[in-house]
Amino acid sequence: MWSTSIRTPFATLALIAVTIFISVRAFKDKRIHDRLIFNPQAILGGKQFDRILTPAFLHADWMHLMFNMVTVLIFGEKLELGLGIGRFLLIYFASIVGGCVLSLYLHRHHDYYALGASGGACGLIFAVIFLNPGGSMGNLFFDIGIPAWLYAILFLLAEFHGVRTQRDNIGHDAHLGGAIIGLLTVTAMYPYIVRQSPYLYAGVMTLTVAMFVYFWKNPMFLPLSSFFGSDDASDSEPQKRVAGQRPTDAEVDAVLDKIAREGLQSLSPEEQEILKAASSE
């Protein structure tokens, strides 16, 4: 099941060609860019559900495009030649959707845009890692390899940190969602990979569940101490606000989530002030 009669990765090459073609067209035509880009408002309000897939065919610039396409070529070729065209494409597109769905959940109240095939690429990487957990991950630019199992753990921790801090312009949530869905998709195809590396699989799944519970309980990405249960907002120093201070998107997001779960009457005076300040902008 890790070898087919295919000798040339036609689907991988075609996928890369189509992605490059659309990305380059979108570089020059803003209408294409605006129609295909990931945007929660357009998806949830405009019912443009195709936007959970189309962002994979857009890229910010040539460097972004080439980096993703090289990654797709390296890992897509392995999967297409090893598993076949259908399974390769299923893993890739399921990973893209998984990355976009996680982004949609985390940014559902935000004016947010994202693009790129990174979610799909991360899904391909995780599929290859768990099909061959004893291998190593060579850096794309330096001849240095690290064990695949170590790469998987470090990847999850790094992307989780990126989602929490949001200090750069990288779609860490799409990377994380794509990697996990890629892993779950290949697991459904080949359940034996769980027995093949039980400790690694258990570790990755434990980290994944913990991260998703954290995202659910902490829409503002509060300090880890809040994960363990204090419901008193006054106990957390980062939650204190200066009078008249403009509320952040994360603060507004948390208030809206609380209203959805517990109703408007559940808001504390500080949370009511955040909502009032946001509505007056």
d(CA 155, CA 176): 8
In 3D space, the residue among 54, 163, 78, 173 whose CA is nearest the CA of residue 126 turns out to be 78
* Whole-prediction pTM: 0.78
pLDDT reported for residue 146: 81
What pLDDT does residue 261 have? 63
Predicted local distance difference test score (pLDDT) of residue 229:
46
In the prediction, which pLDDT does 137 show? 76
Whole-angstrom distance, CA of residue 271 vs CA of residue 133: 47
The residue type of 248 is T
DSSP states along 50-109: GGGTGGGG--SSHHHHHHHHHHHHHHHHHHHHHH-HHHHHHHHHHHHHHHHHHHHHHTTT
Would you say the C-alpha torsion 213, 214, 220, 225 has a positive or negative sign? positive
Note the pLDDT of residue 169. Answer: 79
pLDDT 10s digit of each residue in the chain, 281 long?
Answer: 566 666 889 999 999 999 999 999 999 999 999 999 999 999 998 999 999 999 999 999 999 999 999 999 999 999 999 999 999 999 999 999 999 999 999 888 888 899 999 999 999 999 999 998 887 776 544 555 788 888 899 999 999 988 887 777 788 999 999 999 999 999 999 999 999 999 999 999 999 999 988 888 776 555 555 444 444 433 333 344 444 556 676 677 777 776 666 667 677 777 777 767 766 65
Query: Can you give the pLDDT at residue 221?
Result: 58
Residue 170, burial from CB neighbour count under 10 angstroms (0-12, 13-18, 19+): middle
For domain 10-217, give its CATH number from 1.20.1540.10, 3.40.640.10, 3.50.50.60, 3.60.21.10.
Answer: 1.20.1540.10
Q: What amino acid is encoded at 64 in this protein?
A: H
What are the structural domain ranges in the chain? Answer: 10-217, 232-279
